[in-house]
A and B are shown apart, each in its own frame.
Chain A
Amino acid sequence: MAQRILGIDLGTSNSSAAVLRQGKPITIPSREGASPSGKNFPSVIAFTPGGLLVGLSALRQAAANPQGTATAFKRKMGSPHKYVFQGKEYAPEELSSILLRKIREDAETHLGEKVGKAVITVPAYFNDSQRQATKKAGELAGLEVVRIINEPTAAALAYGLDKKGSHTVLVFDLGGGTLDVTLLEFGAGVFQVRATSGDTQLGGTDMDRALVDHLAGEFQKSGGADIRGDPLAMAKLREAAEQAKIILSTETRTGVNIPFFSRDPQGAPLHLKVPLTREVMEGVLRPIVERCRRPLLQVLADAKMDPAGVESVILVGGPTRMPLVRRFVEGVLGKRPEEGIDPMEAVAQGAAIQGAVLSGETGQVLLLDVTPLSLGIETLGGLMNTIIPRNTTIPTKAGELFTTAISGQKHILIHVLQGEREMVRDNFSLGRFMFEVEPAPAGAHRVGVQFTIDENGILHVLAMDTRTGKRVDHTIQSVVNIEEEKVEKMVRESLEHAMEDMKARQTAETRNELDLMVRATETGLADLEPRLSPSEGETIRASLAEARAALPTDDYTRLKNARERLDKSTQNLARLMMDEIQKKTQGAPPGPK
């Protein structure tokens, strides 16, 4: 029999592995048993004086040793970020490889055979360099990575394995660090991804951070010190916050109690005791959950589908166990998520199924994935020209003809890009190469550029001079060039430029706002005046009159004062109006018609 291929879900907070046995996915236990989260391998590595700890044993000591513990390194995959432990530098993929090695060894122990090959999952929204880094991590761990597949797709494979007929499924995969939303169709064993969207920087870790921040604030409010700068206290709080989050998925109230939490300036011990209800927690987390709305709607728009076309909704990932998240997804799609999917194990199981396809063990299943991001090349003026649009099924082949722009040009630079933005600088660069041509007048050369993406998602670029028949074949290797700081700086600078003509803008903006408020107040008065006291109505009318008088002027201070006055007098009316608007809009289910 062909060698078994291990399916690995390499998660931000937790990892898991599975193989297919007699057509059924079997989860690989870790030597230490199951972790509190449910997955078997916490994605945690600890560097201790006693040696390296990986997985559950590393997680157990994390609160006591925050400096020597590596977590969430998946978020840095494909970036030039370096971690330092015990004076030694580690790239994110090296840390991942330590975890993968542990998983491989435990799998070998459990299966009683060597494991040399694996299918590893990544967020659908990972770009090329993040995928390459994942592949490298596997190789460093002694695994041949036969395929990288997308996490939500893997989950859908596990879900659809024994389903009959054809079906449209939406997978909402909110993990520790990333959100993926994928829409698939399956029928006759074929799983075809229709569209995928997501956010690589949104997940349970953000929820934990918001919750920790809230608890630290509550602790301070109740007379405690500000412990935000104390790494040890923060590590304890993080652990307690995660616990509370899990408890509040089933209970409606709990308390966060940490005795001997920290010390006051005099050295006396401080205890932390903060009650927490589900309602309060949901208030803290709602803005984060709300960020999931856009990707969810984007996927439907990309697939040109309305929510009613989705037949099943699958939730994957730890945070989807929270009632808040389930309610949110149900609210957007108007459909109750499927029960009976293990949100923690489905991804690894799907990877195992794909592993069995690639080892030839099963021929009943076929996964047709898409390119999550558009691919193209740079053209004149710093613009990206898309050759393969996002959500194209792979394998795929597409090409375009380009001409030289300058007379006597000797080279054409072919700069390969990935992303959705118009300007080159806003996209990821995957690499560049030179194509030499005979000097000739501008436009004389026609160079065909052909992109091929194979079943492994690897991009091959072929450039060909149509006149001479000369060809250059180029396979895109890993290119690491997303430096987050640089990106942040770019965003900051663009904001600063926007501030330049501040003065004129301020006046114009204030006038616009005042105008809007005047119109809104008029509407509000017309509908709701009987519900206001006579004196309140009068105050509003007076400030309304002043606002109308201020509107035609260019006097910034007067406009501003009028706005403030109107704002103050209409607080109550505005609240009544919002209630009315909400009453009216409720009941209409969201989603494109």
Chain B
Amino acid sequence: MTSAACPKCNTPGEAVFCPRCDTLLPPRELDHFTLLGAPRRPWLEEGPLKEAYHRLSMRLHPDHARERREDAVVWSSHLNKAYATLRDPRDRLQYLVSLETGSNPLGPGTAPVTPDMMKLSLEVQKFCQAFDPWSSRPPRASPMLAAGRALEKAEHEKRLATLQAAVAERRRRVMEEIRALDARWTTGERAPLGKKLAEQASWLSYLNKFDSLLAERLLALRSGTPIAPEPFH
């Protein structure tokens, strides 16, 4: 039920605006790709996506579409959600797979964990377990203690940089894989790719988690503040 009649000229339309008179059509649940006018595929370039988002925002936001405010609030909520989803590779893949297969994929834990991912995960965990109690230890006045802490801080910083580099490298490989799958996707071979794409989305979920754990600790290290309790999502 994605088509609607134009409130002005009654022409039926499939998208956001009337194909005949360009009037804003009543809000419907369009899929994110259709809404943003983006091709339905695993890989999207950031630039054109952002341009489309800006262009549509200018017309759909209630500050501009004042005479159709209620509709505009609904449309721009959809639009914001669509853009937030499609600009993030992990969210985009998950969304694409659920759109194609009708099934809901798949965060971390669904794809079988490969040894390299397991190793990375253990290393990140080990680092956090060592780092967190260290980070919340109160500062002391003794100069040698301070010097000792500074030495440990340098060690932590080095370890953190190594881990971040490892995560970045793994991410680069996932991205490469997604591009390769995208090439196959566009030649028409879609159905068998769903599982592979879901798998990449699952890797990205892990990597995002590692990145946020490490970023949080880098923040604590650089700002000299103890690690904050993790926000609950």
Indicate the member of B147, B154, B216, B218 with the most A CB atoms within 10 Å: B147
Interface of B is mostly: helix
A494 to chain B, nearest CB (A): 12
Q: Are B232 and A383 in contact (CB under 8 A)?
A: yes
Categorize the interface residue count of chain B: 35 or more
How far, in angstroms, from A294 to B168 measured CA to CA in the complex?
Answer: 23
| A570 CB contacts on chain B under 8 angstroms | 143-144
How far, in angstroms, from A187 to B78 measured CA to CA in the complex?
Answer: 21
| B230 CB contacts on chain A under 8 angstroms | 422
Q: Are A393 and B165 in contact (CB under 8 A)?
A: no
**B225 contacts chain A at the CB level, 8 A cutoff:** yes
Interface string of B139-154 (1 = CB under 8 A from A): 0101111111111101
**A20 contacts chain B at the CB level, 8 A cutoff:** no
Q: Are B63 and A581 in contact (CB under 8 A)?
A: no
| A368 CB contacts on chain B under 8 angstroms | 57, 61, 80
Q: Are A395 and B73 in contact (CB under 8 A)?
A: yes
Interface hit among B47-55, B112-120, B173-181, B192-200:
B47-55
**A357 contacts chain B at the CB level, 8 A cutoff:** yes
Q: Which of A187, A293, A395, A517 contacts B76 (CB 8 A)?
A: A395
Q: Are A189 and B58 in contact (CB under 8 A)?
A: yes
- Contacts of B51-72 to chain A: CB distance below 8 A: 51, 53-55, 57-58, 61-64, 66
| A410 CB contacts on chain B under 8 angstroms | none
**A366 contacts chain B at the CB level, 8 A cutoff:** yes
Interface of A is mostly: mixed
| B83 CB contacts on chain A under 8 angstroms | 393
| A440 CB contacts on chain B under 8 angstroms | none
Categorize the interface residue count of chain A: 35 or more
- Contacts of A412-442 to chain B: CB distance below 8 A: 420-422
Chain B residue with the shortest CB-CB distance to A360: B66
Q: Are A357 and B63 in contact (CB under 8 A)?
A: yes
How far, in angstroms, from A297 to B154 measured CA to CA in the complex?
Answer: 19
Name 27 A/B residue pairs within 8 A (Cβ), A-sorted.
Answer: A192-B54, A293-B224, A298-B219, A301-B215, A304-B211, A363-B64, A366-B64, A384-B232, A386-B231, A386-B232, A389-B233, A390-B231, A394-B80, A396-B77, A396-B80, A396-B81, A397-B78, A421-B232, A422-B229, A422-B230, A513-B140, A520-B144, A570-B144, A571-B144, A581-B147, A581-B151, A593-B168
Q: Which A-B residue pairs are the 7 nearest by beta carbons?
A: A520-B148, A574-B143, A294-B223, A422-B232, A397-B77, A190-B54, A570-B144
Task: Enumerate chain B interface residues (CB-CB to A < 8 A).
Answer: 50-51, 53-55, 57-58, 61-64, 66, 73-74, 76-78, 80-81, 83-84, 137, 140, 142-152, 154, 161, 164-165, 168, 211-212, 215-216, 218-219, 222-225, 229-233
